[in-house]
Structure 1
Amino acid sequence: MNVKNGTFLLIFVVLLAVTACGCMEQTGAEQVQDTTNTTMEITDMLGRDLTVPEEITSVYATSPPSTILVYMLAPEKVAGWNFVNTFDHTLMNDEYLNLPVLGGWFGTQTGNYETIITIHPDIVIEGFTTDGQIDDAIVRRQESFGNIPVVAIDDSIIFVEESDPTIEYVGELLDCEEQATDFIEYRAGILDEINSKVSDISDDEKVRVYYAEGPTGLKTEPSGSQHSQVIDICGGINVANCSLTPGSGMTPVSIEQVMEWNPEVILTSNAKFYNSVYSDPLWENIDAVKDERVYLAPQNPYCWIDRPQGPHLIIGTVWTATVLYPDLFEDMDMEQTTSDFYSQFLHYDLTDEELESLLDP
């Protein structure tokens, strides 16, 4: 190689290196700028300051109430389910029905961090039902999920209040304020209507109700339990004079106790119990059975009155009110109410056959 050619080659290499450095610097600047523009600072419902993507498109929630809330408000952002419904799960469009089931932390369930991380959610939503204190679970979640922000929200599903700050918060977080507002207003309207009709019922005129859980019907929830709150809301008297089992509930009782309580109405979410109660001699002398007032709650895609807990239970309050006081709520068109609720908040248009099967399982 002569000197002249070597000089030109040297100049070419230097220019190439300078150009590459400039491109790298430009790319780095653009990356920093993009990162700045695509994140935002938020405060979760436990007061923790977090940095999250400005546009959240994928959410994994770790418990049923928060998962169902995300589905009701922004179904396209649900990255996966954390539970498999033990009942039918068919009244849902395929794009949601076929999402992966990856577990979570609720009841006795223990999730797997690595499995959830593989679907790359923008954020993880962790529900809490404590007194608002940051507990070890939240800290563990954030440490285990690494760079994926863990947003804490209040998971309590309590219908004594018409407003719900959790619905509003998630609506703002996921940029679906309109849907959140619509649901808050719908929920308030339902509670208003029910309360206006049952608040004046005297105690001696209130229907006596037993909530039968489990395949034998011999587990239940007393008044005050989150699992039986629809009875309290709808003006029924919960006859279960027993202890409240913390957490998952389901206090065992005897058939003798149920006979002593002698409810006028029995509600259940267990199909096996419902299908056997009218032929079981143990139950034949109870008024609710003699009068054929045992009712199986609709449960597709989620049970309407309990397990999984979630904001969808508001439709269960309508159903419970019409079951307990059919004359008082005779103007409530349950078929139209159900169709509208499923279309607007469960994102599924029921056929006539599906509607009939749902309301008369």
Structure 2
Amino acid sequence: MNEKRSIIVLIFMLFLAMNACECMAQEIQQASGTIQITDMLGRQLTVPENISSVISTSPPSTILVYMLAPDKLAGWNFINNFNHTLMDENYQSLPVIGGWYGTQTGNYETMINMSPDIVIEGYTTDGEVQETINRRQEKFGSIPVVAIDGSIIFVTKSDPTIEYVGKLLDCKDQAEKLLEFRSSILTKINETVKDIPEDEKVRVYYAEGPTGLATDPSGSQHSQVIDICGGINVADCPLTPGNGMTQVSIEQVMNWNPEAIITSSPQFYKTVYSDPIWTSVEAVQNKRVYLAPQNPFCWIDRPQGPHLIIGTAWTAKMLYPDLFADMDLDSLTGEFYSEFFHYALEDSDLDMLLHPEAKITK
């Protein structure tokens, strides 16, 4: 009996000791201003309790940080230069630090010298994800590398990542606003296009590059807005892995004969109506070539990211203007820029965004 009682007492003392150690560890952690988190790959990390400086290794996650917590963003992977950039000067003047995306290769020393609280690694073209994260963490040393899900590049799949980063950066209310904005647009589009008969769907070509003779077929991350908005992507060509942009010939485009063309290239848009090789294409004949808004980031592609939700609304409106007659794109754009790009648009800004052809064709 005494032996059994001794064992019980010993177990109880061990429990108290373990609990005391755990409490002490928590107190030490709190005193040092750090917390334990689990990233989206399931890795356990110690990060500052109050994260105030963040860099990301590729544009999709950088743009997400900008949309949710702009004052915590320490630098851009790239920035487009416009005569009048639709971005507050405080954010526009952040340093350009590069990164790993497309054909770009980042510089660890540049980023380490900025002493960020954390580095966010999301979508990558720099090898297999787990291997990439391990390599990044080794190179960044004591700076925590937080992995987020690569689905941030897909318009319809990025809700969990938005929620996670909202919690990570203590901006859950802003993340919820973005989720609600996304949901309202995607629900409207889905309910509107789901019943369009196959033979009434608009045949669309995505023209990339200055000649318009590069494209991405259905299923590509680069042409996803066409699929989401109920268009038929006419490009019957291989999907080029990685950076996309499969080269095609004008003869192929003429054979596909799209009803509408969307493009992200101002150079192509400037010449398409006057270039004789395009004159026999139905979309050109009917003046249905649409240039996506570009400022401060292209709305439909390159970079991918959470901002493409406004480009999805734009695409739906361009492809099916009658079906989306009640979609107020001016109002949606003003709301989006105010809430998520942190910039109040003037009427002239709105006109420049939604009618870029007026300036380009002058």
Interval containing the TM-score (normalised by the shorter chain):
0.7 to 0.9
Go from structure 1 to structure 2 and tell me whether the alpha carbon gap of 1:34 and 1:89 turns closer, same or farther (over 3 Å shift).
farther
Say which one has the larger Rg: 1
RMSD (Å), alpha carbons: 1.8
1:77 aligns with 2:72: yes
Q: Which residue of the other structure, out of 204, 209, 221, is the alignment partner of 1:226? A: 221
The 5-angstrom pairing of residues 42-191 of structure 1 reads: 42-85=37-80, 90-128=85-123, 135-157=130-152, 159=154, 161=156, 164-191=159-186
Cross-structure match for 1:300:
295
Q: Which residue of the other structure, out of 308, 313, 317, is the alignment partner of 1:318? A: 313
The count of corresponding residues between Structure 1 and Structure 2 is: 329
Given that 1:305 and 1:316 are in contact with CA atoms closer than 8 Å, whether structure 2 keeps it comes out as yes
The 3-state SS of whatever aligns with 1:42 is strand
Percent identical residues = 69
**Could you tell me how far 1:88 is from its partner in structure 2?**
6.8
Cross-structure match for 2:342:
347
Q: TM-score if structure 2 supplies the norm length?
A: 0.87
**Alpha-carbon displacement from aligned partner over 1:53-96 (angstroms, at most 9, x marks no partner):** 00000000010000000000000000000113366771000110
**Could you tell me how far 1:135 is from its partner in structure 2?**
2.4
In 1, Cα distance between the equivalents of 2:286 and 2:148? 44
Given that 1:129 and 1:154 are in contact with CA atoms closer than 8 Å, whether structure 2 keeps it comes out as no
Go from structure 1 to structure 2 and tell me whether the alpha carbon gap of 1:88 and 1:258 turns closer, same or farther (over 3 Å shift).
farther
Given that 2:151 and 2:157 are in contact with CA atoms closer than 8 Å, whether structure 1 keeps it comes out as no
In 1, Cα distance between the equivalents of 2:158 and 2:300? 19
In 1, Cα distance between the equivalents of 2:82 and 2:237? 27
Cross-structure match for 2:304:
309
Given that 1:88 and 1:300 are in contact with CA atoms closer than 8 Å, whether structure 2 keeps it comes out as no
Go from structure 1 to structure 2 and tell me whether the alpha carbon gap of 1:162 and 1:142 turns closer, same or farther (over 3 Å shift).
closer
The 3-state SS of whatever aligns with 1:135 is helix
**Could you tell me how far 1:137 is from its partner in structure 2?**
1.4
Unaligned segments of structure 1, at least 5 residues: 1-31
In 1, Cα distance between the equivalents of 2:55 and 2:323? 41
Amino acid at match of 1:185: E
In 2, Cα distance between the equivalents of 1:107 and 1:170? 23
Go from structure 1 to structure 2 and tell me whether the alpha carbon gap of 1:238 and 1:158 turns closer, same or farther (over 3 Å shift).
same
Unaligned segments of structure 2, at least 5 residues: 1-26, 357-362
**Could you tell me how far 1:128 is from its partner in structure 2?**
3.6
Given that 2:185 and 2:313 are in contact with CA atoms closer than 8 Å, whether structure 1 keeps it comes out as yes
**Could you tell me how far 1:158 is from its partner in structure 2?**
5.6
The 3-state SS of whatever aligns with 2:304 is coil
**Alpha-carbon displacement from aligned partner over 1:256-279 (angstroms, at most 9, x marks no partner):** 000000000000000000000000
In 1, Cα distance between the equivalents of 2:66 and 2:89? 14
